Structure 1
Amino acid sequence: MATIRFKENSYNGADNESVLDILLRHQIAIPYGCRAGACQACTLQASPSQIPDDCQQGLSEGQIHQGYFLACQCRPMQSMDINTVNTGAQKIPATVVDKTPLDDHTLRLRLSCRLRWRAGQYITLWMKDVARCYSIVSAAHLEPYIELHIRVHPRGIMSQQLFANTKVGDVLELQGPLGNFVYEQEHASQPLLLIGSGTGIAPLIGIAREAIDYKHEANIHLMALDRTAKHYAMAQLETLKNSAPQCSFQTEQTENAESIISSQFPNLRGQRVYLCGGQDFVQRIRKKCFMLGASPRHIITEEFINFGPQDSN
């Protein structure tokens, strides 16, 4: 059983507990968000010799050299002496320049900041000690703002705050961008099939726009799935379709996804497939696309993190 020493106190861990689990169980206040290693909100510091190998993914070489690690991913193999880090130095101010409801439960937020990003990457948005990850719709070389599509959950801490209280002109904080869920120009001759569930279509719209801007040669087809066939992003999808002859889209109900994909795309050999949505959805559709002939290296995925019913984004 490993012991965590933090701020002159010691805390015993249980089997398979992460450092974050241990601290929270002992009612130690520490920022955290996704609990999946994506948002980096729970970054702490320890001696590099005490840190397991698998809890520094996504951190920079400089951060790793300084002994930074992700508390939610760190299951200590030995006792550790840990310290907080100054995450404020990693945060960038971002001004809200647009806040528009796209339907009754989806919010479009546009943020102006000094940052370079790619459509499809994600940022970590902060409000005090609450952090959430959101995928980017816009492309830095096409728009001067980061655009996010945020599903507003009834008990979502961050999404409810953004929907109810955030105003144009407010300054938020963000970290990033992170992720490699982006368009790759070297595959310009490969047909693209972009499948997104709910706001999972958001980064795919951005990826399609980048592909069109970079003169993608082959067909680009977007499949927007939701609980109903009426999709919140219909207007953007129509605009995208009208912007390029090789671009098309359809909206369907999520529950019919597998049968629709099988009937419309019985042979995915040679296609490049992008999937985005909840973890269960992405894993299920990835398997279906593989069975239909898509090469595993040509299936690019981004899974949204489930924060649970009390803490959704």
Structure 2
Amino acid sequence: MPELKVADRQWTVAAGDNLLDALNQSGVPVPYSCRAGSCHACLVQCVSGDVRDNRPDALTPAQRDQGWRLACQCQVIEDVQIHTFDPQRDGQAAEVAALDWLGADVLRLRITPQRPLRYRAGQHLLLWAGDVARPYSLASLPEDDRFLEFHLDCRAPGQFVDAVRQLKAGDPIRLGELRGGALHYDPNWHERPLWLLASGTGLGPLFGILREALRQQHQGAIRLIHVARDAAGHYLEKPLQALAAKHPNLNVELLTAAEAPDALAQLRLASRQTQALVCGHPDWVEAFAKRLYLAGLPRNQLLADVFLTRGNGGV
């Protein structure tokens, strides 16, 4: 049976055991969110030995050469020594710029990195509050060089959300891995209809992508649909309506969860050239995608990002 070593600890595991489970079950805290190789919260480094990696494409060749692996995607097959990600040593320093509520349940976190961060609208970033980590999608644009912005769903308690609630402006916070994510704006879509469908705080990255499309003077029609639990959940209603008033090609539709099924059933594509981006709770992402496919949208013209809530549920 292979042996797993972390710092001064060493123990035996069954061959084929999932690396993330083997670490967490033995008291080595490795954060995780998606367990699908997307969020990069469970990044660890193989110092000696190696593991069977089911998603080698999830990391860059340079990262893999340095021994970095996503624990959720790996199986222990031989003796291996693991270095876990230390936010104080391996992360980037940043500080809280501002915390404010965009609604009863959505906390806007703005942070200022110590060094400028190159990113594009829709990307994910791993945030560390103390020793608790969680990946979040950026709601800001690279042009907002004063801060990075994130929208946190606080309806249910969680270690990271509870830790962030205690922060105040000026407090330190650490940044982990930056990921591309599925969502982005492509200038080649310039003339095509663009549909943005979100539930809950899935609106955050799409708000960034919407503003990027408008910044690049997107000429096609833009349709944004936001589904919230109730009317109070449309936490960006005012800025969205302001953008719609300024840009004649933008149409904003705000739906409650009760209204959404009937509204989605009425969706019709004006053009098979439509590009769709969907984001939010898995149930709603599936509902959006199913309806768009039934309406005739080619599968390669839909980009989706699922927000796994680890117990929060809802929209």
Give TM-score scaled by structure 2 length.
0.88
> Which of 274, 278, 286 is the matching residue for 2:277?
274
Bigger mean CA deviation after superposition, 80-89 or 90-99: 80-89
Q: Aligned partners of 2:3, 2:264: CA distance in 1, in Å?
A: 49
Decide whether the 8 Å contact of 1:31 with 1:130 is kept in 2.
no
Q: Aligned partners of 2:61, 2:117: CA distance in 1, in Å?
A: 20
**Superposed CA offset, 1:151-179 (max 9, x none):** 1133211112222x111111211124312
Partner residue, 1:73: 73
**Superposed CA offset, 1:130-160 (max 9, x none):** 1111111111124521111111133211112
Partner residue, 1:157: 159
Shift in alpha-carbon separation, 1:309–1:258, aligned structure 2, 3 A: closer
User: Any unmatched runs of 5+ in structure 1?
Assistant: none
Q: Aligned partners of 1:147, 1:95: CA distance in 2, in Å?
A: 12
Q: Aligned to 2:73, what secondary structure does the other structure show? A: coil
Partner residue, 1:119: 121
Q: Aligned partners of 1:224, 1:103: CA distance in 2, in Å?
A: 15
Shift in alpha-carbon separation, 1:255–1:22, aligned structure 2, 3 A: farther
Question: Does residue 260 of structure 2 align to residue 257 of structure 1?
Answer: yes
Matches within 5 A, 1:17-166: 17-26=17-26, 28-36=27-35, 37-46=37-46, 50-76=50-76, 78-85=77-84, 87-88=86-87, 89-113=89-113, 114-163=116-165, 165-166=166-167
Q: Aligned to 1:103, what secondary structure does the other structure show? A: coil
Bigger mean CA deviation after superposition, 236-245 or 82-91: 82-91
Q: Aligned partners of 2:47, 2:92: CA distance in 1, in Å?
A: 27
Q: How far does residue 11 in structure 1 lie from its aligned partner after superposition?
A: 2.2
Decide whether the 8 Å contact of 1:13 with 1:22 is kept in 2.
no
User: 4+ residue stretches of structure 1 with deviation over 4 A?
Assistant: none
Question: Does residue 293 of structure 2 align to residue 284 of structure 1?
Answer: no
Aligned length: 306
Matches within 5 A, 1:162-241: 162-163=164-165, 165-180=166-181, 181-230=183-232, 231-241=234-244
Q: Aligned partners of 2:257, 2:218: CA distance in 1, in Å?
A: 28
Q: Aligned partners of 1:284, 1:206: CA distance in 2, in Å?
A: 23
Q: Aligned partners of 1:220, 1:302: CA distance in 2, in Å?
A: 19
Q: Aligned to 1:196, what secondary structure does the other structure show? A: strand
Shift in alpha-carbon separation, 1:130–1:290, aligned structure 2, 3 A: same
Percent identity, aligned pairs only? 27
Decide whether the 8 Å contact of 1:44 with 1:70 is kept in 2.
yes
